[in-house]
Amino acid sequence: MPATPAGATRCRRSTYHAIRMIPIPNHIRGLIFDCDGTIADTMPAHYKAWLEALGEHGVEFPEALFYEMGGVPAARIVEILNERHGHQMPVMETALYKESLFEGYIPQVMPIEPVVQVIREYDGKLPMAVASGGMRRIVEKTLRALGLTDRFNAIMTAEDVNHGKPAPDIFLEAARRLGVEPKLCLAFEDANMGVQAARAAGMDVFDVREIAR
């Protein structure tokens, strides 16, 4: 593994306001959660993995741009970097290498407690799904590490839809699998593209960044 590139030390665990419970509106009949940065505090680890993977190609990835692309599948991120900056990185090879680096960090990932509290509280009371732009293998491994896999009626990932966030497809499919109308679902998100996707699907949205310090 290459030495940690400059900037990686900026990646650290996020902190969140202690609140009694995230409020769930009375009309809501289904809950849909993004995974990275919403259920699991994975974003710093993802950024470290990106810096290592892209560093081998001499490609810089500013932290602000990384967070701007929250929810975008890894392969699409590589494509965007190639398109914007004229890089020639092999798309799937680079994306898969980045994900393999991230897997090594999963045992260190912590839950985002205010969101996980909702998942535990509504387990068995409302149908729940995950709608993540990540790869299924990585998403499921993350959920297993947090002991949450069995809490969900459906797990949707980038492989399940043709158009990722900010398109609404993944949220619409998650709602369909739950058997709940999109307008009766509450989506939990932490990134602009995810919020845009959920709203385009006609859902209420709770932005997890509102409880971040």
User: Do 119 and 15 share a structural domain?
Assistant: yes
CATH code for the domain in which residue 132 is found: 3.40.50.1000
What is the domain extent for residue 92? 44-106
136-145 vs 91-103: helix axis angle to the nearest 10?
A: 10
The answer, yes or no, to whether residue 6 has pLDDT greater than 80, is no
Q: Is the pLDDT of residue 13 over 70?
A: no
Q: Are 135 and 145 in the same domain?
A: yes
Q: Is residue 1 part of a domain?
A: no
DSSP annotation of 191:
S
Q: Which of 112, 99, 16, 34 is nearest to 70 (CA)?
A: 34
Percent of the chain at pLDDT exceeding 70: 90
Shared domain for 193 and 129, answered yes or no, is yes
pLDDT digits (tens, 9 = 90+) for 28-79: 999 999 999 999 999 899 999 999 999 999 999 999 999 989 888 899 999 9
Q: Which residues are catalytic?
A: 34
Give 156-186 pLDDT, tens digit per residue: 999 999 999 999 999 999 999 999 999 999 9
Statement: residue 1 has pLDDT above 50: no
Statement to judge: residues 126 and 184 lie in one domain: yes
pLDDT at residue 26 greater than cutoff 80: yes
* Domain final position from 67, 82, 106: 106
Same domain for 37 and 59, yes or no, is: no
pTM higher than the cut 0.85: no
Q: Could you give the number of structural domains in the chain?
A: 2
Kindly state whether residue 27 falls inside one of the protein's structural domains: yes
In a domain, 124, yes or no: yes
| One domain, residues 91 and 78 | yes
Question: Is 4 within the bounds of a domain?
Answer: no
Give me the chain's average pLDDT, please: 90
Distances (CA, A) of 32 to 20, 29, 86, 92, 129: 20, 10, 37, 28, 5
Please say whether the beta carbons of 60 and 183 come within 8 A. Answer: no
Mind listing the pLDDT tens digit for each residue in 184-197? 999 999 999 999 99
Q: 70, 86, 106: which is the final residue of a domain? A: 106
Residue 173 CB contacts under 8 Å (≥ 6 apart), including other chains = 131, 156, 160, 161
- CATH number of the domain that 71 lies in? 1.10.150
Asked if 164 and 158 count as a contact pair (C-beta separation under 8 A), the reply is yes
User: Are residues 38 and 58 located together in one domain of the fold?
Assistant: no
For strand 154-156 and strand 30-33, is the pairing parallel, antiparallel, or unpaired?
unpaired
84 shares a domain with 60: yes
DSSP bridge partners of 205: 187
